[in-house]
Amino acid sequence: MDPFVSALEELAEALMAGESPEQALPDIAGEHDLPIQALRNRALRALGPLETYKQRQAELKKEREQTARRRDPVFAGASFLAAVASLNPRLSSEDRQAEIQRLAAEYDVDPADHKEAIERLRKR
């Protein structure tokens, strides 16, 4: 097996754990007996800019979740109601309504379709 594969997997895990590329690259290159610059070059081709890897992966995860919700309206509605249920109960009525509208846009649902459930959640 290509020695870079396991090193790249380990580097991706380190970046997701919050390590900086400058910190992780020398450690991982040393563990796998690879030149640091060679590992950096392979990582850039495989993972893209290392400084933004964690952020890009989080954005991809969010996009995948949004796609899953769009495919399944029941899942979208349930996710929306769960988010509404977790709103701070101390929000003013206007702030709560604005937050519900924001969540409705995020979850791609019509809050009017869930009005009764939202009202029940408000009473808690």
Q: What is the pLDDT of residues 23-55, one digit of tens each?
A: 999 999 999 999 999 999 999 999 999 999 999
Q: pTM for this one?
A: 0.62
Position 122 pLDDT exceeds 80: no
**Which of 123, 119, 86, 90 has its CA nearest to residue 103?**
86
Per-residue confidence at 124, pLDDT binned at 50, 70, 90? Answer: low
Tokens 């309206």 correspond to: 73
Domain residue extents for the chain: 3-55, 72-123
Q: What whole-number percentage of the chain has pLDDT above 70?
A: 98
Residue 96 tokens read as: 């709560």
pLDDT at 82 over 70: yes
Judging by beta carbons within 10 Å of its beta carbon (0-12, 13-18, 19+), is residue 96 exposed, middle or buried?
Answer: middle
For residue 6, pLDDT over 90 is answered with yes
SS3 content of the chain, % helix, strand, coil (to 5): 80, 0, 20
